Amino acid sequence: MMNSEHEDRAPGIDAGAPADAETQLQLNRERLRERLDREKDGPGPIDGIARMAPLAREFVREHPYASLSGAALAGVWLIRRKPWRALGGSLLAGLLTRQALALSLSSGSQLLKGLTAAARSRQASNRTP
């Protein structure tokens, strides 16, 4: 019974000393990160990008003109080759249509809610003499 009471505490904190909220939050975050690391099957694409970001920043600091030249060349390549066309015009049009429909439906529902709220307030004001 004694072990089960103290198992949920972090190893660095005394059992009798109450920890403040910030410390508990930090410890919970660390435990969650450790659990997620253990459960991961392998590194994902975001992990690779996150690891490459500091290297890219360092490269840009050391070689600003080369970075600017590379970005300009990449921009020219994107403009000339238009790789997004490989996705297909119908796919892009479908995505844009879907987004426009979602926006119009959400704004329409907000308009409807506003109109019904105004009508209800008018009815309430007409009821009270």
Which pLDDT belongs to residue 79?
86
Apex CA 70: angle with CA 61 and CA 62, to 5°? 15
Residue 11: DSSP 8-state:
T
Here the tokens at position 129 are: 């003499």
Tens digit of pLDDT at every position of the chain (129 positions): 444 444 455 555 555 455 688 898 889 989 888 877 776 656 566 667 778 888 888 988 898 888 888 889 998 998 898 877 776 667 777 777 777 777 777 666 777 777 788 888 888 777 765
pLDDT of residue 6: 46
Give the pLDDT of residue 17: 52
d(CA 32, CA 38): 10
Cα 59–chain centre separation? 26
Find out whether 9 and 15 touch, Cβ atoms under 8 Å.
Answer: yes
| Per-residue pLDDT at 5 | 45
Distances (CA, A) of 67 to 55, 71, 72, 80, 112: 13, 6, 9, 20, 51
* Calpha distance 38→47 (Å, rounded): 15
Start-to-end CA distance of the chain, whole Å, equals 68
The full set of domain ranges for the chain reads 18-81, 87-129
What are the pLDDT digits (tens) for 86-107?
766 677 777 777 777 777 776 6
pLDDT confidence of residue 73: 92
Tokens of 99: 């987004």
